[in-house]
């Protein structure tokens, strides 16, 4: 990701400030680029909601 964004956005997801809950949920369930999707049997809805909320939280 660092190469894709040419240093404009952090490659480490928990350092990003532009992620929304909806974006995280979409990419986890539908995949993007080389990242595979995750089935509900691999990450349940409650765990995905917690992960999305964590990654979408705006941290300094």
Domain boundaries, the chain: 2-56
Tell me the two tokens of residue 48.
């995905």
- pLDDT value of residue 40: 94
- pLDDT value of residue 11: 66
- pLDDT value of residue 14: 78
Question: Which of 30, 55, 27, 28 has the alpha carbon at shortest distance from 44?
Answer: 28
In tens digits, the chain (60 residues) has pLDDT values of: 555 656 677 667 777 888 899 999 998 999 887 889 999 999 999 999 999 999 898 766
Q: In the beta sheet, which residues pair with residue 32? A: 35
Pick the CATH number of 2-56 from 3.30.390.10, 1.10.150.120, 1.10.760.10, 3.40.50.960: 1.10.760.10
The pTM of the whole model exceeds 0.85: no
**Contact criterion met (CB below 8 Å) for 56 and 14:** no
Question: What sign has the CA pseudo-torsion 22, 28, 30, 33?
Answer: positive
- pLDDT value of residue 19: 87
């Amino acid at each position: 990701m660092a190469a894709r964004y040419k240093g404009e956005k952090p490659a480490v997801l928990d350092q990003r400030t532009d992620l929304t809950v909806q974006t995280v949920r979409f990419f986890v369930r539908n995949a993007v680029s080389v990242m595979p999707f995750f089935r509900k049997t691999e990450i349940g809805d409650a765990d995905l909601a917690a992960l999305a909320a964590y990654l979408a939280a705006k941290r300094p």
